[in-house]
A = this chain, B = another copy of it.
């Protein structure tokens, strides 16, 4: 009876929040893998919203918990230097990342250029390693701070969609499509270009 109560307690705990990853682990259950996309922007184009909603809803069908967080860009020149702007945005970003329990994947043109299959494999590895999820960070107008880059190198990855600079509206569409493509690769679902 006591053992049943413990299990029940753990189960109740797990229902409360997906943070109770350990509790769920005991029960042999796992929360949905969380994918958070953080970007810094004042405005969003309608077309970009529509594309991300479309690919996002397809990603969710694979049981992924997908969330997008849009943060206000920090003031830049002439009020602050570019470095100060990056650092401020970096701190705001890192305060939202549960380092140690999830990976930080920073999109940066100096990052590793991966194929869609490598990207799908990396996400699978994160889930297999027991990570609760991943946070993707799309840099502000002046890129990522040194602290963000170091955290990603230590506890995640810096990846690149190529060497070209993309505006963040385009970058998020590319990311959302790659997330969907990764799911189709992982689950062997046909997906045409």
Q: Would you give the 0/1 interface string for A92-118, flagging 1 where the beta carbon is closer than 8 Å to chain B?
A: 000000000000000001000111101
Is there a chain B Cβ closer than 8 Å to A68's Cβ? Answer: no
Is there a chain B Cβ closer than 8 Å to A146's Cβ? Answer: no
Q: Contacts A51-B45, A113-B113 given: A178-B164 contact, CB under 8 Å? A: yes
Which residue of chain B has its CB nearest to the CB of A162?
A: B162
Question: Number of copies of this chain in the oligomer?
Answer: 2
Question: Nearest 9 A-B pairs (CB), nearest first?
Answer: A162-B162, A47-B50, A47-B47, A47-B51, A115-B163, A161-B162, A116-B164, A141-B192, A141-B193
Is there a chain B Cβ closer than 8 Å to A67's Cβ? Answer: no
Is there a chain B Cβ closer than 8 Å to A87's Cβ? Answer: no
